Amino acid sequence: MDTFKKLKQFYWPYRKYFFWSLFSLLFVTAISLVYPIVLKITIDDVILAEQYNLIPYICIAFIALMIIKGIATYFHQYLGENFGIRSVYTLRDELYKKLQRLPFKYYDNAKTGDLMSRLTADVEGFRFFLAMGFSELVRITLLIVLSLGAMFYYSVPLALVTMAAMPFLAVVVYRFDRRVHPAFRKIRKSFGKLNTRVQENISGMNTVKSLSREDFEVGRFLNRSEDYRTNFITTSNIWSKYFPLMEFIGNICVVALLAYGGYLVINTPLQLGVLVAFFQFVWLVLGPLMNFGFVINLFSQSKASGERLLEILEAEEDIQEKENPIVKDRLKGHVTFEGVTLTYSEDDDSALKDISFDAPPGKTIGLIGATGAGKTSITQLITRFYEPEKGEVLVDGKRVQEYGLKTLRKNIGFVLQESFLFSTTIRENISYGNPDASLDDVISAAKRAQAHDFIMEMPNGYDTLLGERGMGLSGGQKQRIAIARAILIDPAILVLDDATSAVDMETEFQIQKALQEVMEGRTTFIIAHRISSLKHADEILVLEDGGVVERGVHEDLLVNGGPYQRIYDIQYQDKEKILNTANL
């Protein structure tokens, strides 16, 4: 029960619904025990005693009890479902909040489809047990205890004979539980992997079709589906083995009851009605005992689900705010790195090695180098997406750990290499970081990002709904909307991570011209592969294998004969060759 104890905070506040549901269940269970007693009275006190005048009274009493049972069943089920739904509503909210707080390091290894499976299928599996499993366990316990009590009241010898097989049934149920829980955990894991495969395939459908890899993707999906099917069949096999055995043991009890009970009716004062009532009571014991397997099934599924949910809830939050962080509306944007080293994981080489530089407010820093050189890692340390292994990152002379995360990140505007847009209107996408911005402010930001003209050509202008991930827009259009989004939050620090990589040369020139105005007074980091995008920077850092191998302004770096000049020669010599070929 450790899993349920750890998740107690989510369902215990709603315990009143659970206990009122159990209170209603008491009436339902107690009335269920009336059936055998009514049979006993009908046979012994009416038919055998020939007191047929009692039949109308028995019928009226029976109908009244059924009405009470129907009302009690309604409240039991309604309150039980309320208990489950309210509990997982809180749980799902906390899971989603936790996902927002978890650091980038967590998402480096997490699978989107698996996380979606946890927030949907696993949460629902846990809810189902809260709504039905607990109360079913109580119902089974009550039925068994009360039925056994009635059986011993009517005939101790017959009750003892009937119970002879009960220990064997309990052993079978216990062994069933030990085998079925690991099987359900495998089902949950394989279902998460299946979801991941579907999610990745749909997200990458353009790549799949452009490379004609449909058959390959079908094969990968079938492998995951086969794994899920195999685990499900294995679990079904466990059910198929244990439930017939439970039923067989139950039937032995019934045979023993009929044989010994018939003997007692013939040779002792035991009444026939008592034997018939016993037959009903036995099934009120055996039925719940065998149904206990269903409860174990629910428990195993919910336990497996709860364990997967706890993996998220208990995931370490590496990026923590201090108790009394600095909270400001506006920072100056003075960024300093002092001997910073960053390693993403113990098995990897350092992504950054002893990086030091100073970027006063309004200064533009260009970062250039091969893929994996550490350009993006520098900017991710400023926002505390990751923590440095050594050294200090300072903003306005204070360690970034001193600031509240919202203060820090609200003052940093990002335009990433891959622009992510939400499935909502263009206006809402641009104002995502500043939802209170007026339409005039949104239009102004779009104009400065060279996006206004093509937006006005859309069917509904700024109110045009975009498809998933900005479907329907070109790469350049998505990039310019992302730039407008960064402009609108009026950041003290602006990060352009290869921001013009998806636009043509003419549009790049227009955006660069607009960004000159936007970068005025802001500390700007330009990550680029094109030298044309950062040659006007106040300082350019050339990175290789996580270290700075050159630094300076464009003109000085061109005459040093180092890596920067080689990059320049490669880019511009290739252009000259293309132009010469075109002229020929």
Residue 98 near residue 82 (C-beta atoms within 8 A): no
Length of the chain: 584
- The position carrying tokens 């044989």 is 259
3-state class (DSSP) for residue 74 = helix
Residue 367 near residue 529 (C-beta atoms within 8 A): no
Residue from 514, 525, 516 nearest 451 by CA? 514
Residue 257 and residue 162: Cα distance in Å, rounded? 6
Residue 292 and residue 331: Cα distance in Å, rounded? 62
CB atoms near residue 514 (< 10 Å): 19
Q: Residue 136 has which token pair? A: 């079913």
- The position carrying tokens 């132009």 is 579
Residue 68 near residue 62 (C-beta atoms within 8 A): no
3-state class (DSSP) for residue 567 = helix
Residue 11 near residue 130 (C-beta atoms within 8 A): yes
DSSP 365-381: EEEEESTTSSHHHHHHH
Query: Domains in the chain, ordered, with CATH?
Result: 2-313 (1.20.1560.10)
Q: At what angle do helices 272-313 and 134-154 cross, to 10 degrees?
A: 160
Residue 394 and residue 548: Cα distance in Å, rounded? 18
User: In a structure prediction context, what are the per-residue pLDDT tens digits for the chain, which is 584 residues long?
Assistant: 688 888 888 888 998 998 999 899 888 888 888 888 888 888 888 877 778 788 888 888 888 888 998 899 899 889 988 998 888 888 888 888 888 888 878 877 777 777 887 888 788 888 888 888 788 888 888 888 888 888 888 888 888 887 777 777 778 777 776 777 677 778 777 877 777 777 667 666 656 665 567 787 788 788 888 888 888 888 888 877 777 777 787 777 778 777 888 888 888 777 888 888 887 888 788 777 767 766 777 777 788 888 888 888 888 887 888 888 889 888 999 999 999 999 887 767 788 999 999 999 989 999 998 888 888 889 889 988 888 989 999 999 999 999 998 888 889 888 877 777 888 888 998 888 888 889 999 998 888 888 888 889 888 889 988 876 667 787 778 888 888 888 888 889 998 887 666 566 676 676 666 677 677 788 999 988 778 778 888 999 999 888 999 999 988 888 888 888 888 888 776 554 444 444 44
| Nearby residues of 465 by Cβ (< 8 Å), 6 or more positions away | 423, 424, 425
pTM for the model = 0.72
Residue from 448, 445, 450, 415 nearest 430 by CA? 445
